[in-house]
Amino acid sequence: MIPVEELTRLCKEVEGECGLYVSVPETGERFVWNENYQVYSASTIKIPVLCLLFQDAEQGRVDLAQKVVVKPENRVGGSGILQSLRPDLEMSIFDLATLMMVMSDNIATNQIIDIVGMERVRDFCKEEGLDSTWIWQKMIHKGPPPADMPEGLIPNATTAADLGVLMEKIAAGTIVSPVSCQKVMQIMAGQRLGRLQALLPTTERLNPYADCLRPPAAGKIVVASKGGSKESAGAVHDTGIFILPDGRRYVMAVCTKTPNKAKAVHLIQQMGLAMYNAMK
């Protein structure tokens, strides 16, 4: 059972705005709080980018094993490891996608955005009913917004509701093929920067090349997640699919716009723990 009172209390303690979406797909149980409040998406936008990449791979538009060298214009700062490696390093598209998720690598992300097409990411979100989620700028964008971007928009945006629905579709194996959704979850289960699972007994980091995503051992939990933050926008988010040893799954998505990042991170961690204690 979703711990509604505790989650409500934690949402109220966030300084600024907090959106929350929690669901247990197998029972239909759901709890939301300010779930349609739109925020700067930060790195959570990398989830639909990854899904579209796998859709393109299914359709033969992309070969995930193909090796590429990152374009100079895609080399930016912020999170990730590629900025510390030599610029002529050749990597497979699959490995770039993995870095995009597990290390939130902005350089890898920008290269993947070029591969799938930014406009096609927007179209993909719209087709999936994620009406408040879009991307108009690459990671660590510098300069003015694109000339064709409508006025008044947050350049890259999402909501807790959209992220929650997106994760439900991944967990159900419906946003792309079931096989590709499994691979998406495997990649996200290797997350090294998550907040929702910080206080949970998570499994060891999973291998994205494994043949399938198996339930965890007793007393453990698998968390396939992706967070994001951008201090200048007050953005501190996280979203995840949680898999228990008996195979049950639940979904959480938290989006905040806050002047107090440290407190928001602490409260997001507490939300993750509260839901786990209620479900285990």
Amino acid at 117: G
Nearest to 34 by CA among 278, 216, 257: 257
Please, what's the b/e burial string for 201-224 (b: 16 or more CB within 10 A of its CB; e: otherwise)? ebbeebebeeeebebbeeeebbbb
Cα distances (angstroms) measured from residue 77 to each of 71, 80, 176, 264: 14, 8, 31, 24
At which residue do the structure tokens 């040893």 appear? 245
Q: Show the tokens assigned to 118.
A: 């930014």
Reported as half-sphere exposure (CB side, CA atoms, 13 A), residue 192 has a value of: 12
Amino acid 161: pLDDT: 98
Helices (H) and strands (E) in the chain, counts: 8, 10
Nearest-angstrom CA–CA distance, 207 and 277: 26
Amino acid 63: pLDDT: 98
Nearest-angstrom CA–CA distance, 35 and 159: 6
Angle (CA) 28 226 188, round 5° = 85
Q: Show the tokens assigned to 201.
A: 């007994």
Pairing of strands 235-243, 222-230: antiparallel
User: In angstroms, how far is CA 136 from the centroid of its own chain?
Assistant: 17
| Residue-wise pLDDT tens digits, 45-83 | 999 999 999 999 999 999 999 999 999 999 998 889 999
Amino acid 207: pLDDT: 79
pLDDT in tens, the chain (280 residues): 999 999 999 999 999 999 999 999 999 999 999 999 999 999 999 999 999 999 999 999 999 999 999 999 999 988 899 999 999 999 999 999 999 999 999 999 999 999 999 999 999 999 999 999 999 999 998 888 888 999 999 999 999 999 999 999 999 999 999 999 999 999 999 988 889 999 999 987 777 788 788 889 999 999 999 999 999 999 999 999 999 999 999 999 999 999 999 999 999 999 999 999 999 9
Structure letter (DSSP) for residue 110: H
Amino acid 10: pLDDT: 98
Residue 163 and residue 47 in contact, taking contact as beta carbons nearer than 8 Å: yes
Residue 226 and residue 188 in contact, taking contact as beta carbons nearer than 8 Å: yes
Nearest-angstrom CA–CA distance, 79 and 99: 10
At which residue do the structure tokens 């591969």 appear? 115
Who contacts 197 (Cβ-Cβ below 8 Å, separation ≥6)?
191, 221, 223, 225, 240, 242, 272
Residue count (the chain): 280
Burial of 108 (0-12, 13-18, 19+ CB in 10 A): buried
Q: Show the tokens assigned to 28.
A: 């239909």
At which residue do the structure tokens 């979904």 appear? 251
| Residue-wise pLDDT tens digits, 104-145 | 999 999 999 999 999 999 999 999 999 999 999 999 988 888
pTM: 0.96
